[in-house]
Amino acid sequence: MTAIQAPSLADREAAALLPTYARQPVAFTSGSGAWLTDDEGRRYLDFLGGLAVTALGHAHPAVTGAVAAQAARLVHTSNLYLTEPQVALAEALQRHLGWSDGRAFFCNSGAEANEAAIKLARRHGLAQHPGKVKVVSLLGGFHGRLLGALLLTGNPAKHAPFQPLGDWVTHVAHDDPAALDAAVDDDTCAVWIEVVQGEGGVRPLSADMLAAARAACDRVGALLVADEVQTGVGRLGAWFGWQTTAVEPDVVCLAKALANGLPIGAIVARGAAAAAFRPGDHASTFGGNPVVAAAALAVLDTIEREGLVDRAAARGRHLAAGLEDLAARHPLAVGERGRGLLRALVLHRPAAAAVTAAALERGLVVNAVAPDAVRLAPPLTVTEAEIDEALTLLDRALSAVEDTA
Ligand SMILES: Cc1ncc(COP(=O)(O)O)c(C=O)c1O
């Protein structure tokens, strides 16, 4: 009699989930710090952090403790009522942004944060004159998959299956200050930027581009919105990415690392932008509920207490030097780009998927952020020894792909 084999997790997924994800062939079951363990007990060094999310690493006791304590007390009430953790989180963000006039709104994801900022920018624009609803955003930018955030996203291939999405967004090249200036007119309510385009291949914007965005907004009374969903909360070696530049936005969008993996999104608006919304203009049933707010407070508190912002800058320099060294020794690699602990190893040809797969086989988690770029976003708590180990594994992965070429 032949034994009936239990279906694999991948087979069960195919029979039960909509096929939106092309997943890697691994199922993780636990994590600790910069390490993950899969369902066969194999350990991996996690240099992706759940897409730049687990800034404190996996199972950080401060987050686990805050979530457990809050969940034991009160999980949810809706935003019809006041809850202390949400207000305390908004106050902490004001402090780290340096915006005493900053006002926050909480939601559940990066795309939702961008959607909230779109509505805020429209409200701000329409208070000036009818029709002031247009947005200028950048090619290569990524802002999420909900319909408004998708249209902001500067990737026409992602728009194509869902057209029409509307005509209120103009995209300009990510490094063309003159084109940006020309695209912004009196009907523009906002310009959207990422200080470092994350999903666009870890591409820092030039100082000229950032200055042009700020100047164009000031010229027409539009808001400069910095999507800091990937770059915020310490990752670039500053609390927020814009603090590494000469330009200050009017609105920031946050998510990802803010609660170390619990679903949260936020916008913080300052100045006139903070006065644009009225009660009823926007809402979220779960947004900023006591558990996610407690988790986010634990994240911000830990980053501050342990000096992780400066540490991210220092570890980022160590990682960048190691990637440059790999690029000098490997014919496949060109160099590296990024800031702080958001980095990409840039390749000569579109082999990032092969390098990522070879790295995973060797116990290193990274991802192919572009066909020719491998992204690394380790936790802010990563040690130099862990960085050196990751570089050794990446070295071997590059050699393996070079050998099969
Ligand atoms: C800059 C930026 N904005 C928005 C998003 C969308 O975030 P979410 O997937 O939480 O909706 C992402 C996700 O990668 C992002 O990197």
Counting ligand 1 atoms within 8 A of each CB, the residue from 109, 174, 192, 229 with the most, and so the one to mutate, is: 229
For residue 3, what pLDDT is reported?
Answer: 75
pLDDT band at 1 (very low <50, low <70, confident <90, very high): low
pLDDT > 80? residue 2 = no
Q: What does the DSSP 8-state code read for residue 2?
A: P
pLDDT band at 363 (very low <50, low <70, confident <90, very high): very high
CATH annotation of 9-60+307-404? 3.90.1150.10
CA distance linking residue 213 with residue 136, whole number of Å: 9
Kindly provide the residue ranges of all beta strands, DSSP E only, lying in 115-183, ordered along the sequence: 134-138, 169-172
Q: What is the pLDDT of residues 266-312, one digit of tens each?
A: 999 999 999 999 999 999 999 999 999 999 999 999 999 999 999 99
Mean of per-residue pLDDT scores for the chain:
97
Distance (Å) of CA 165 to CA 132, 194, 302: 18, 22, 41
Rounding to the nearest 10 degrees, give the CA dihedral for residues 295, 301, 303, 304.
Answer: 170
Centre of ligand 1 to C-alpha 378, Å, is 17
Centre of ligand 1 to C-alpha 263, Å, is 12
The predicted model gives 347-357 an average pLDDT of 98
pLDDT > 80? residue 38 = yes
Sequence-distant (6+) residues with CB within 8 A of 273 are 120, 121, 124, 223, 250, 251
Q: Summarize the chain as % helix, strand, coil (round to 5).
A: 40, 20, 40
pTM exceeds 0.85 for this model: yes
Residue 333 in tokens: 């690699």
For 38-71, b/e burial (b = at least 16 CB within 10 A) is eeeeeebbbbbbbbbbbbbbbebebbeebbeebe
Counting ligand 1 atoms within 8 A of each CB, the residue from 192, 196, 199, 253 with the most, and so the one to mutate, is: 199
Which residues line ligand 1 at a C-beta cut-off of 6 Å?
51, 109-111, 114, 142-144, 194, 198-199, 227, 229-230, 255
Q: Which atom of ligand 1 is nearest to the CA of 253?
A: 3
Architecture of 74-305 per CATH? 3-Layer(aba) Sandwich (3.40)
Calculate the CA 27 to chain-centre distance: 22
Counting ligand 1 atoms within 8 A of each CB, the residue from 143, 225, 286 with the most, and so the one to mutate, is: 143
pLDDT > 80? residue 12 = yes
Q: What is the pLDDT of residues 151-186, one digit of tens each?
A: 999 999 999 999 999 999 999 999 999 999 999 999
Amino acid at 218: D
Centre of ligand 1 to C-alpha 380, Å, is 19
The segment(s) of the chain belonging to CATH 3.90.1150.10 are 9-60+307-404
